[in-house]
Structure formats: C-alpha cells, structure tokens
Structure 1
C-alpha cells in the first residue's frame, strides 16, 4: 500500500512521509542523531517532526499531569501522532533513542491498510530495574510495542479514539497496549525495525536478523553509564558526522512541530 494513503483520507501524491520523533530535552542529542540517521538514508521525501510536550501544552492539546512511571516527556504524547498528521495517510512515531541503518522507504512500503497500526510484536521483559539516567524500569504486556509504530492515521478507530482528550485522560495500559483496537487490527513489522539492544540478536550469515533500526531502549552512549553499550560505535560515528555537518555552512534544518502541524494547532485554538 502507498505510505501516503490511509483508509480514511488521502494525501497528495509526492507528499513527504511524516515521521514523528519523541523529544525530551534530556536526550536532545539523541533526537538529532536519530533525525540525521533517517534523513541520511531516505530515498523518499521525508519530514521528521519532533513531538515536544511544552508546545502541545501551550496549544491546549495535552494536559495530563506527569506520573511517576513516565520515563520521558513523550510517554503519552506519542499517541497524538494521527491527530498531528491530520488523520491522513500513514505516519510513523519513533522514540528518539533510535539509530536508523536502513532506508525508511522500506519501512513505509510495509504499510498495509488492513491494519490500524503496525509495529514489532516484542516479547520483552527487561532484566534491569533502572534505565537511562536512573529512571525506574517498568514491565507490562506489549512493552516496547509503542516505541515504533506505523499509524494508519485515517483508520476510523484511530480517528475516534486518539484525540487530545483521550491521550490526556486514558490510562497507560489502554494506550500502550493498543486496547482501543482488536488484535487483528494490529499488524506486525519485522523485529529488525525495532532492534532492542541487549535483547534482540543477530544471526551470523542471516541478513534477515541484521538491524534496520537500532533501539537503545535501556540507555544509549549519550549517557555516561551506557557509553560502551552494544552498537555504541555506530551511534558515535553518526554523532561525529552530525557535528561535522553542524560546522558546515548549511547544516540540516529541523522541522518544528509548530510549523509542520500548524493547521492542526491553529484549528485547536478556535
């Protein structure tokens, strides 16, 4: 299926594929590296948009109080992805602690209008009790499913449910376990698109197991405690290239959510 066409609402041909990335000021450098890794390898028009909680609060789109189990500022705002995409076409949400090693055109090509969402169906129970910079690690069914999701933004159930009201008031279990959907409406993506460092394994000689997008889910090399984690050298190499580009006359420009989603934000203020 076309990544720019959803089952309820279409985008103009050639419209950029929207990728919303969770943003937390504690991991700003992780966002920048994730963004660069996407754009560097993309063969299709792509728009990378940070989801910044303060902007959503200012626009009246998010108002829930932060709970003790929320490890990042985007623990819940991620579920506004279809809303911010105007409930049109397909879009991706991804945590900022990802490093893309492959062309997102391959991921977009997996979009299948039979499903409301598509993600990696991890069976993951973390062994750690803390992660990142001392944040408490939590365990729950379908953990990490929501960390990288292909959203069929115009699917009727997404339109009806994933609203600012629901995202600001529903439970974490309801949202992170996709409880607004039937199981048959949750499509599956190969695990290599959400390759969990320390959990998923590569099999030598089997390219189907080689990571397409690395997820430093317990903490990445931007944290001192994880500077020597698996695949750290790949992330650090991407950071080095990013820093060289930043020093060049024309560095890559970030798309602020307020600009990318201006029509939605303006409508919410009416």
Structure 2
C-alpha cells in the first residue's frame, strides 16, 4: 500500500518548491494557484528565490551563459530546504497543474532517491523564452519536475549548498550523484511538454496532461503568446472544457472563470 502524501511529508502539508524567476512572476503565481486550487491535501507552495538564497549564504554560484532561468541550479537545493526529511516536489515555474498533485505524491517510492519523467526530448529551437540560449543535453527536462526523497543518503551527501554552488551542470541535471536504478520514473502526463508530447486519441484518459509544462516559453512572453494551447482533459472532467488562454497583462483564464490574477494571488 502506498504511503499517503501526509505520511510522505511527515504529517505536514506536502511541500512543493517552485523555481522562481523575476521575469516570470506571473507564471509562478499561476502555477501556485493551479496547485492550490486542485489539491485535495494540504500543500505548502514555496518559491525558490535565488536572491534570498544568496543573502542566506546558501548559494554563491556565478551565473553562466547557459543558465536560462534564475533557478537553473537552485532547484537542487530542494532537499536541503526541506530539511533532508520526507518527500518534496520541485517544479519549474512554467507549469500549470490541471490535476490533483496528491495523485503525483502517491507515486513516491522509497526505493528511489528521485522520481521524474524520463523524457526523450531534443529541442528544435536554438533559443527559448525571451531569447535565452536553448541547450540540448542527455536527460533534457528530467530535472524540470522532480519528486525528491529528501532523506535519501545520497541526496543528503551530494545536494549540499557547497555542491549546488560548485558542481557542473551535467553532474546535477543528469543526476550523476545517483546510480541509474535510483532514478525512478513517473508518467509523462505529469510533465507534459507543450509542442512535444501528444494526447493519444486511443488512450485519452492515460495520455491527457496532468501538469502542462511550457518548456520553451509560455504565453506571458510576447514571442509565445500564441503558443499551442491544450484542452483540460482528465477522466474527471468533461471533454468539452475550453482551453486555457492568456489574457494580457496579468492573468490566465478559462472563459468566465479566472485561474489567476496578480491581485488574487498575493
């Protein structure tokens, strides 16, 4: 029998750490709102803000030319920020949850140090977001959504502030502190890449997104304001729900049903 999300978090709210980038504040707010709105369990949504980590002496890495976001490396501080106990989820800020995060939390398996979607993904563009360099590397996008077993001995030993501030991108993003068998897999629907993953008409219930990831850039960027839109399809939802849309300047909505706004999410 799988442990409950409450048990995974040691009886506390399930912790979700979201990478924060000052250019994408609205994306963080929408991600946070989508998590809280659909969760059937208590959830603590915590932004990972690089400047705060620097001020606390937990991160001192100089930003490199391939870092497309402010949380490119700080995401790996999740176990440390969680006190190296229980389970915690990390997601990029450009995620939109359309299902209950408790379903994802229940996939936690103590046999693994981390669990993620094992994407086979090679970006087609040379830039993303607002002109950031798009890089291709093995296990691309695996680290954009990670369920961390925070107390796992290898995570405790490897994911320290010192290591996160000094280790190579390859070491961190490819989970090189772990053996392959310690990197568990969850269904791709929990990191559904817009423009890459597809819903299988023969298995809509099994392939419809549970968490949508605007990995190349979301509609809050001018360049991506007309990016591919996904219908909210879930076994629990009717198939006629309208797609999510971006309405400038500060909110994602469904028709007549606001998802988020800067005034409602503070």
TM-score (norm 1): 0.87
The 1:244/1:222 distance shift into structure 2, 3 A limit, reads closer
- Bigger RCO (CA 8 Å, 6+ sep): 1
Equivalence for 1:116: 113
Q: What is the rounded CA distance, in whole Å, between the counterparts of 2:162 and 2:109 in structure 1?
A: 27
Gaps of 5+ in 2: 231-242
TM-score (norm 2): 0.88
**Aligned partners of 2:219 and 2:246 also within 8 Å:** yes
Equivalence for 1:180: 177
The 1:216/1:243 distance shift into structure 2, 3 A limit, reads closer
Gaps of 5+ in 1: 254-270
The 1:96/1:37 distance shift into structure 2, 3 A limit, reads same
Q: Does 1:52 align with 2:65?
A: no
148, 151, 172: which one aligns with 2:145:
148
Give the CA deviation at 1:236: 2.7
Equivalence for 1:239: 252
Q: What is the rounded CA distance, in whole Å, between the counterparts of 1:39 and 1:126 in structure 2?
A: 30
CA RMSD of aligned residues (A): 1.6
- Following superposition of structure 1 onto structure 2, how do residues 91-102 of structure 1 map, counting pairs within 5 Å? 91-102=88-99
Give the CA deviation at 1:244: 5.8
56, 64, 78: which one aligns with 2:75:
78
The 1:59/1:191 distance shift into structure 2, 3 A limit, reads same
Give runs of ≥4 in structure 1 deviating > 3 Å: 3-6, 242-245
Give the CA deviation at 1:234: 1.2
What count of residue pairs does the alignment treat as equivalent? 244
Give the CA deviation at 1:252: 4.5
More helix by share: 1
The 1:187/1:225 distance shift into structure 2, 3 A limit, reads same
Equivalence for 2:59: 62
- Following superposition of structure 1 onto structure 2, how do residues 198-209 of structure 1 map, counting pairs within 5 Å? 198-206=195-203, 207-209=205-207
